[in-house]
Chain A
Amino acid sequence: MAIWATIIINGLCTGSLFGLVSAAFSFQFGALRMMNFAYGAFVMVGMYVMYAGIHHFGLHAAAAVPILIVIYFFVGYFLRATLLRSSDPNVQIIITSGVALVLESVVLFIVGALPRSLLAGIPPTWKFPFMGGILVISKLNVLTFAVSSLVLIGFALFLKRTWLGMTIRAVVQQKEAASLMGVDPEKIINVGFGISFLITAIASVMISLQFVLEPTAGHYYQLIGFLVCVIAGMGNLKGGFYAGLLVGLISTMANIFAATWHDAILFILFVVILTFLPNGVFVSRKSISRAV
């Protein structure tokens, strides 16, 4: 019993991380109408930047994280401003695939294919007696859950309450009307893209604390991000968090019962949901732009 409670709690914590990873993509696709296929690659690069900052430049983690976040905002801004100006989805897919190819091969060239890990040893845990057993909760998992939910709540508040957030929503809903109100829609979409990269940076930091670093890790997180978005319905940030929790649970269970088929199970689930419930499992009746 205590073992199952441990598994479920840790699964939910991993799931919150998946929710965070998918939030950036969900916002880019659902709200800004940008297909970002390089987004897994950017998660991977963020992980390596953290690794390099801590192990090679001797930065403290608390200093490396803000630097990464600031860099990523500008990367996102200039990526949209220079390469992704086209609104044709196929062009966006091809260009971002090209960016992903460049990032992956450059990382492969610089660091090699050998997997690395940021943390050495077993992360510290809390132990509680629980229903005749011992409940083991990793402190890192709790931190992940806290950071993910805080970032997502903060992002939702930002979109709802601040001037910039309202401007982004206005541009998403009606570009022409927003530009009549004196807003430059292109610039606002650039800024929105930069902000979505900010979330990518935070997600990559949290992933790098828990999982192995590999040049090809991006593919996996990208598909996880797609899966979560598809379950939640594109652009549905709140549903995305719940869907992330669900995927985390499924992933943990799959790891326990059929570890080797873990990926296959997740991706078949992905195709089945996409085919039969294309609007997502957590569908709200509001339009996508409203939900954002």
Chain B
Amino acid sequence: MQSAKTEWIGDWITPKNLLVCILIVPVLLIPFFYKGGAALLPMHLVIMVASYIVLAQTWNILSGLTGMFSLGHATFYGLGGYALAVAMVKLKLNPLVGLAAGIVLSAFFGLLLGAISSRLTGFFFTISTIALAQVIRTIAMQWTPVTNSITGLKIFRPIVSRMTFFYLSIAMAVAVSIFFAYLRRSRTGSMFVAIRENINLARSLGVDVVRYKTISSVIAAMIASVVGSFITYYIQVVDPNYLSPIISEKIIMVSIIGGMGYAWGPIFGSVLILLEEFIRGTLGARYAPLASTLYGVILIVFMLFRPKGIVSINLKRSFGMAIAALTPSKDVNASVGPNPENLGAGGGSTLHASQFSKEK
């Protein structure tokens, strides 16, 4: 832990990370594979997936690292979106002013959440996040002169190529993921993990619990708000659906199924966002609610059988066990047995978050 700062760049250049970097290249080239308008849909999907990666990473900071289990994360996303839209449509300001306003508004809300978490923990904190999210949603629905109620606000912007949004979203996802990995290794991140693991022990060792909880929620709020502004600027409309509990549930699902508290978690889990588009595309819009059904089922199944998410699946070991089951040879069994290095969350085979953490 002490030498974390000096060696972190060297730690990251591993064959596995390089492999992932190579796998990202085809995604970056998507705009050039298709001709004309055919690239628009794949690019849109990548933008959505990338924005969910960022949202899930922020939830990961708040809940995965610090243990403040929030079920109202869509609030920050919606606040960012509404701040941008209100600044552009009602006040006729530069979108960057709206972006900044959204960040400030969300940071304020994050402070509020931090203040609440100083008095409430666990389940009580969770339900108060739901209630606050509902309050913000009610305001968005009812404060008609500003938010235009259910219709929402439609913004008009100069035409920007979709490719700009595409690369911007990927850059955001990569930057926030690296930030998360860095945060997890940093001193602040260690404080977060200490609070999650045992709040009383952390307090007795001199960790300023309220301060670090507030830092965690403010960081998460500010980044999530940027995503909200970004998506609003891209889709050109914001409505109360941005604040709906379904968005929060999707964010949580992405993060939990991927692996809560790991930098790779949201990146793996975010692929599931494509499921909805896939069902809409193959079966028709009428079957779109079934995507949420599948999300629920996947969430339950993972929670029952793989509570640590996709990152905890050790490919080499599962593969080896499959081979061992298929071939009754003694040699294979000998080489496959439970290797202490591969057990648990820190298993060594592929794409593991453990590269970012020595302590787990």
Contact = CB atoms under 8 A, between A and B. Distances in A.
Contacts of B287: 109
Given A261-B142, A267-B134, A278 B119 contact: yes
Given A223-B130, A270-B131, A98 B297 contact: yes
A108 interface: yes
A214 interface: no
B150 to A, nearest CB: 12
Interface string A40-65: 00000000000000000000000000
Nearest to A105: B292
Contact of A89 (B122, B131, B139): B122
A260 B300 contact: no
A94 B252 CA distance: 9
Given A94-B252, A109-B289, A274 B120 contact: yes
A97 B292 CA distance: 12
B180 to A, nearest CB: 20
Given A271-B116, A278-B119, A101 B296 contact: yes
A174 interface: no
Question: Which applies to chain B's interface (DSSP): helix, strand, loop or mixed?
Answer: helix
A72 interface: no
A101 B295 contact: yes
Interface string A213-229: 00000010001001100
Given A101-B292, A109-B290, A109-B293, A91 B303 contact: yes
A219 B296 contact: no
A185 to B, nearest CB: 21
Contacts of A226: 127, 130-131
Interface string A222-262: 01001100100000000000000000000000000000110
A145 to B, nearest CB: 27
B256 interface: yes
B138 interface: yes
A92 B134 CA distance: 22
Interface in A102-148: 102, 104-106, 108-109
Contacts of B71: 37, 93, 97
A78 B118 CA distance: 37
Nearest to A103: B296
B132 A102 contact: no
A178 interface: no
A288 interface: no
A3 interface: no
Contacts, number: 109
Given A95-B304, A264-B139, A275-B120, A105 B252 contact: no
A97 B126 CA distance: 12
B126 A270 contact: no
B93 interface: no
Given A89-B123, A105-B292, A267 B132 contact: yes
Contacts of B348: none
A152 interface: no
A100 B123 CA distance: 17
Contacts of B307: 91
A260 B142 contact: yes
Interface in A66-101: 83, 89-91, 93-95, 97-101
A268 interface: yes
A98 B299 contact: yes
A169 to B, nearest CB: 22
Contact of B138 (A97, A104, A267): A267
A275 B116 contact: yes
A260 B139 CA distance: 9
Contacts of B277: none
Interface in B283-322: 286-287, 289-293, 295-297, 299-300, 303-304, 307
Interface string B63-93: 0000001010000000000000000000000
B236 interface: no
A104 to B, nearest CB: 7
B228 to A, nearest CB: 21
A276 B138 CA distance: 23
Contacts of A95: 299-300, 303-304
Interface in B84-125: 116, 119-120, 122-124
A98 B297 CA distance: 7
A178 to B, nearest CB: 24
Contacts of B119: 275-276, 278
Nearest to B129: A271
A102 B297 contact: yes
Contacts of B123: 29, 35, 89, 93
Contact of A223 (B131, B249, B295, B297): B131
A271 B136 CA distance: 13
Contacts of A100: 296
Contacts of B19: none
A271 B131 contact: yes
Contacts of B296: 98-102, 105
B27 interface: no
A83 B131 CA distance: 26
B71, B142, B297, B303: most-surrounded residue (chain A CB, <10 A): B303
Contacts of B69: 90, 93
Given A101-B292, A268-B135, A271-B131, A94 B303 contact: yes
Given A101-B299, A267-B132, A274-B128, 17 more contacts: A93-B123, A94-B303, A95-B299, A97-B249, A98-B297, A99-B300, A100-B296, A101-B295, A102-B292, A105-B291, A108-B292, A223-B134, A226-B131, A263-B134, A264-B142, A271-B116, A278-B119
13 contacts: A91-B307, A95-B304, A97-B252, A98-B297, A100-B296, A102-B292, A102-B296, A108-B292, A219-B245, A263-B135, A264-B142, A271-B131, A271-B135
Q: Give the 10 A-B CB pairs with smallest separation, nearest first.
A: A105-B292, A101-B296, A102-B296, A98-B299, A109-B289, A98-B300, A264-B138, A267-B131, A105-B289, A98-B296
